[in-house]
Amino acid sequence: MQANTPLSGVFLPRHLRRVAPLFFSAFVLVFYLSLTGTFGEVSGSFSDPTTRYKLFPRKIWQSWKVNPLAFELRDLLVARSWPEKNPRYRYEVLTDENDLYYVETHYGPEGLNRPDIVEVYRSLNARIIKADLLRYLIMYVDGGVWADIDVEALRPLDRFIPERFTEDEMDLVIGVEIDEPDFNNHAILGQKSQSFCQWTFMSKPRHPVMMRLVDNILAWLHERSAQQGKPIGELELDFDDVISGTGPSAFTSAVLAEMSFRLGHEVTWSTFHNIPESKLVGGILVLTVEAFAAGQGHSDSGNHNARTALVKHHYHASNWPSNHPRFSHPVYGEVEKCNWNKECVRAWDENTAAFAALPPDEQERQIALKQANDAAEAELQLNLGMDLGLDLGLNLGQ
């Protein structure tokens, strides 16, 4: 008697009859997944986020040491500009007390199951590294708008996307921060001379740039740990380490890598040098420098009164370099104080090169002279402050 199969009554060769039940089971599974919507979720996880999420989530994210009810007036006045100008958006601030819970919830066993991320985040003690990593972790899970706590909203978020574009064309909105490619080969300024801004940006959930950043940061931290022979929580990192490891330079590298991947050819900074208007590249919208970084005094960044200026960075929460210092020459100080002025940088380069050529005893003499002058200047400023306070007190007493 002929054996029954799901296709009984139809003659099939013996080798096909053996695999017919497997094909039938697969068909039933696909049919079930399509009915429940699960199939769309599974297939969507491997597709471009632009096709999976048509709109950017209407949510604004920030992080700070304390919750908004405990903000100092300075922070409150700036932070509340976001919900005031965007009343239809949700607004949330993660703090030093609940950030770990967020990471454990979304990246732990019940979430994305990335124990490596949770372990590294738990071990971090450097606030700026945690702050940078946290924004990428949040944007990958939830998406929306990220703004540093000292960034003020000048315009509603509806203005982030120019009218000639639509939300479904893109999955990330960023802006130029530093556009000074003439310094690309400078020993200190080079890696910082071409960068996108990461104190404000807008992303759809599950964006590959965010996870690319997270994975790069984890690899970088482990590499630094091996180099220094210290656990991640005890790493010594200077200003340039932070900028290139988690900050704007790291952000820029990840964005350019994703653009290159999507377009199938290398995308370099030249694509964004001196752009007169926003540009859409590989589904990533890049706004002009004036949008997020106006008023810097370099990069042709314009001012905050321009119609295209969307935010204002006040920098009052940007004191992290005190724990991660810039390179400072013992006589000529920090080249960053030139603020990308070409003549100033040229003079700094020439002076430091001439200093390096001096005999050791002459170098020591110049350093001692500089320290003596700095001490005298500090004492003068102190005395002026005391005299000013005394005069003010006498005037008030009259």
Q: Closest Cα to residue 129, out of 382, 369, 323?
A: 323
CA dist 252 and 212 (Å) reads 11
Those residues with Cβ within 8 angstroms of residue 100's Cβ, 6 or more apart along the chain or in another chain: 121, 122
- pLDDT at 388 (0 to 100): 61
Residue ranges of E strands in the chain: 59-64, 90-95, 144-147, 151-153, 172-179, 194-196, 200-203, 279-281, 284-287, 311-313
Instruction: Residue 191: count other Cβ atoms within 10 Å of its Cβ.
Output: 19
User: In angstroms, how far is CA 301 from the centroid of its own chain?
Assistant: 19
CA dist 319 and 190 (Å) reads 22
- pLDDT at 381 (0 to 100): 86
Those residues with Cβ within 8 angstroms of residue 161's Cβ, 6 or more apart along the chain or in another chain: 167, 170, 173, 285
Are the CB atoms for 289 and 300 separated by under 8 Å? yes
Residues 321-374: tens digit of each pLDDT: 889 999 999 999 999 999 999 999 999 999 999 999 999 999 999 999 999 999
CA dist 216 and 259 (Å) reads 16
- pLDDT at 344 (0 to 100): 98
- pLDDT at 52 (0 to 100): 74
Residues 111-121: tens digit of each pLDDT: 999 999 999 99
CA dist 212 and 218 (Å) reads 10
The CA-atom distances, in angstroms, between 301 and each of 165, 176, 288, 308 are 23, 9, 8, 11
Average pLDDT, 10 consecutive residues per value, the chain (398 residues): 46 54 53 40 40 90 95 95 98 97 98 98 97 98 98 98 97 98 97 97 98 98 98 97 98 98 98 98 98 97 96 90 94 97 98 97 96 90 70 55
Q: Give domain 59-323's CATH number out of 1.10.490, 3.40.50, 1.20.120, 3.90.550.
A: 3.90.550
- pLDDT at 379 (0 to 100): 87
Q: Closest Cα to residue 93, out of 71, 73, 72?
A: 71
CA dist 309 and 294 (Å) reads 6
CA dist 145 and 292 (Å) reads 13
Q: How would you class 141 by CB atoms within 10 Å of its CB: exposed for 0-12, middle for 13-18, buried for 19 or more?
A: middle
Instruction: Residue 246: count other Cβ atoms within 10 Å of its Cβ.
Output: 27
SS3 154: coil
CA dist 193 and 185 (Å) reads 9
The model carries a pTM of 0.84
